[in-house]
A and B are shown apart, each in its own frame.
Chain A
Amino acid sequence: NAGVTQTPKFQVLKTGQSMTLQCAQDMNHEYMSWYRQDPGMGLRLIHYSVGAGITDQGEVPNGYNVSRSTTEDFPLRLLSAAPSQTSVYFCASSYSGGRGYEQYFGPGTRLTVT
């Protein structure tokens, strides 16, 4: 199993550009989430999905869109990049069978917006 994969690993955008961060998992997990990691802030939840076709907002959703057309994929779209979106983005997935199941994290995408 590859686990959770993310592409690209690094990206530089200019203000106003759009892009999609890709996330895929091969563990047949129902739950998937996107977090951003900023220095001194820990990880904050952007959007999450509890299954194909179902998504919802997390703590910091503004400026981001998601969709979940398949169980495996959960892309994150930046609509019009801003310097405040400079961050490291992590995708995670989890089994939905009950309490206490861990989230599995991808290796991250480091995004810089100039």
Chain B
Amino acid sequence: GDSVTQMEGPVTLSEEAFLTINCTYTATGYPSLFWYVQYPGEGLQLLLKATKADDKGSNKGFEATYRKETTSFHLEKGSVQVSDSAVYFCADTLGGSNYKLTFGKGTLLTVNP
């Protein structure tokens, strides 16, 4: 079955450091790919997405590119802030099955001043 693997945390960075969180998927075909973020005590919210190969999703300074050849969707940010401290989840879904996300296990990011 489909699975999503993301780098294990926790990740601790200083403010203004570069962030990469790796994510790979196993789904065949052309899944849609997502990064969700969960701030402490809250539900998940969409950070960015990509629906086809070579698409780049971006939001709030975060970026991720859909790489079909490596089945990857790595999350990057050039300069993190304390307010970026959260848990980040990579997820995919096949075709139009938007009710059926497969999630990675999540990566806890802590950014120190």
Interface residues of A (CB under 8 A from B): 4, 31-33, 35, 40-45, 48-50, 58, 90, 92, 94-96, 98-103, 105-108
Contact = CB atoms under 8 A, between A and B. Distances in A.
A85 to B, nearest CB: 19
The number of chain B residues touching the other chain, given as a range, is 20 to 34
8 contacts: A41-B105, A42-B4, A43-B44, A45-B102, A95-B98, A100-B32, A100-B49, A100-B51
Contacts of B44: 43, 90, 92, 105
Contacts of A92: 44, 101
A107 B42 contact: yes
Contact of A40 (B46, B51, B93, B105): B105
Given A33-B100, A42-B4, A99-B93, 6 more contacts: A35-B101, A42-B89, A44-B103, A48-B100, A99-B96, A106-B43
A103 B42 contact: no
Contacts, number: 68
Nearest to A48: B99
A45 B100 contact: yes
Nearest to B46: A102
A2 to B, nearest CB: 13
Contact of A43 (B42, B45, B103): B103
A16 to B, nearest CB: 29
Contacts of B36: 105
B95 interface: yes
A108 B98 contact: no
A103 B34 CA distance: 10
B88 to A, nearest CB: 11
A34 to B, nearest CB: 10
